Amino acid sequence: MTDNTAKKPFIEFRNVTKRFGDRTILDNVNVSIYRGEITAIIGKSGVGKSVFLKHIIGLMKPDSGEILFEGRPLAGMKRNEWTAFKRSVSYMFQQNALFDSLNVFENIALPLRERTSMKDREIREKVQQKLEQFEIEEVLDKYPSQISGGMQKRVALARALVTDPEIILFDEPTTGLDPLRKNAVLAMIAHHQREIGFTAVMVSHDIPDVFFISNRVAIIENKKVPFQGTPVELEQSDNEVVRQFLLGQESLKDELTGLLTKHELERLLNSELARMGQYQNRLTLILFTINDLKQVREKIGYILEQRLVQCLGMMLKKHFGMIGTSARYDTCSIVTVLPHTDKERAVKHLERLKKEMQEMALLKADKYPKSCVDISVMAGIASTDRPVTIESLVREAKNEQQLMARLSCSGNGVKE
């Protein structure tokens, strides 16, 4: 994560208050958003997340306080400055806001026609680039009502990016999607943000999925912002309001894999490690990682990228369900904790699992007749008989990782 201690905010809310009649939605809210980062705005339904977002683009104005862009109040901008600022911002609405009377190509091209002086040929080339980037070339002539919800999200994201904006505001970009497609959309946003470097502000209720792609998180709760910081700082926060919010909002299960969340696993692991000093038990942790997901994403697509993580999760749940606990640790890693298990026994489990993993359908070359991809699944073990930090166990396991299974461009898996 980026260290912002010496940086100035790119966009800043200073003591912003917003009311609708007698009802206060935001009360003296202070939030800092930094250039080139993804900032997630999270909170319960109806607390004012979308209201917050609309203040940035000027769809709403604060009753008191101010919003600054690069240190200058938006309210004090001259007309030409405000116009230039608006052109640098793109907005992906919660319900996509695609025009039913325009086909996919025309929907994506619309911002270029409205905001630029590009010629038709240049517009066609730019839109074609986005169609290929988001794997939606086959629906360019279709209308929004003729394509799936997942495809509509891709079209809306392509339209938001087609003008190469400096800032993109995402209002619940994954609403209505199943876990596989939800994570695929989040992966798309994260990938393009890294490639292009735009600043993203994302309103979301997808906890903890959004934590995997965010640099910073701000919680809106009871009209205030009780926390803003990195996802790691959020998980480690002692703020009682924050802890109660997470307990109330975060599901015990990661939707994509059906495993525990990282937050829940850390609670369980801390409890096991605390008991260890008293009972002298041994605990073993296995870190599984899928490498080369970037290549999978670029050559085949985001859905397969998430499907690989999902399949690994299902396999680990089946294999270790009776003796251990598994959790999704980050975008490409899963951690399995085996209490009362030494390293030697864990190695035997991995040997049995290795054979099963090499038979995974998604690691068979004939699944990808049109593309050449390299995919490898790694696993490493760390074991302890004394209380240690979770981070040190994960670090040790990562250093010990060895190849479990592979799909290579030649189509040969690992048969060791």
Q: What is the pLDDT of residues 317-368, one digit of tens each?
A: 989 988 899 999 988 999 999 988 889 999 999 999 998 888 877 777 676 7
Q: Which residues of 214-224 are buried (b: 16+ CB within 10 A; e: fewer)?
A: bbbbbbbbebe
Among 25-39, 68-82, 285-299, the minimum mean pLDDT is found in 285-299
**Count of beta carbons in the 10 Å neighbourhood of residue 279:** 7
Question: What's residue 128's pLDDT?
Answer: 92
Judged against a pLDDT cut of 60, whether residue 390 lies above it is answered with: yes
User: Which of residues 315 and 294 earns the better pLDDT score?
Assistant: 315
**Mean pLDDT, all residues of the chain:** 86
Q: What type of residue is 179? A: P
User: Which of residues 87 and 362 earns the better pLDDT score?
Assistant: 87
Dihedral sign of CA atoms 167, 97, 13, 242 in order: negative
The C-alpha atoms of residue 101 and residue 103 are separated, in whole angstroms, by 7
- Residue pair 281/337 in contact (Cβ under 8 Å)? The answer is no
The C-alpha atoms of residue 383 and residue 337 are separated, in whole angstroms, by 10
- Tell me yes or no: is domain 11-249 CATH 3.10.20.30: no
The C-alpha atoms of residue 285 and residue 381 are separated, in whole angstroms, by 6
Query: What average pLDDT does the segment 259-271 reach?
Result: 84
The C-alpha atoms of residue 164 and residue 151 are separated, in whole angstroms, by 21
- What separation, in Å, do the N-terminal and C-terminal C-alpha atoms of the chain show? 38
- Residue pair 204/94 in contact (Cβ under 8 Å)? The answer is no
The C-alpha atoms of residue 110 and residue 245 are separated, in whole angstroms, by 40
3-state secondary structure of 47: coil
Q: Which contiguous run of DSSP H or E holds residue 143?
A: none
Question: What's residue 1's pLDDT?
Answer: 46
Distances (CA, A) of 46 to 60, 167, 205, 310, 311: 16, 24, 11, 31, 35
Question: What's residue 187's pLDDT?
Answer: 85
Token pair listed for 66 = 């101010």
Q: What is the CATH number of domain 262-407?
A: 3.30.70.270
Judged against a pLDDT cut of 80, whether residue 411 lies above it is answered with: no
Judged against a pLDDT cut of 70, whether residue 4 lies above it is answered with: no
Question: What's residue 416's pLDDT?
Answer: 37
Where do you find CATH 3.30.70.270 in the chain?
A: 262-407
Question: What's residue 413's pLDDT?
Answer: 44
Question: What's residue 102's pLDDT?
Answer: 92
Query: What average pLDDT does the segment 88-110 reach?
Result: 88
Where do you find CATH 3.40.50.300 in the chain?
A: 11-249
Judged against a pLDDT cut of 90, whether residue 395 lies above it is answered with: yes
Q: For residue 412, what pLDDT band results from cuts at 50, 70 and 90?
A: very low
Q: Which residue has the tokens 């050449």?
A: 372
Query: What average pLDDT does the segment 165-169 reach?
Result: 94
Residues 6 or more apart from 343 whose CB is under 8 A from it? 284, 381, 383
Question: What's residue 250's pLDDT?
Answer: 55
The C-alpha atoms of residue 140 and residue 128 are separated, in whole angstroms, by 9
Token pair listed for 33 = 């958003």
Report the percent of the chain where pLDDT is more than 90: 42
Q: Where are the beta strands (DSSP E) in 56-178?
A: 64-69, 72-73, 89-92, 167-171
3-state secondary structure of 242: helix
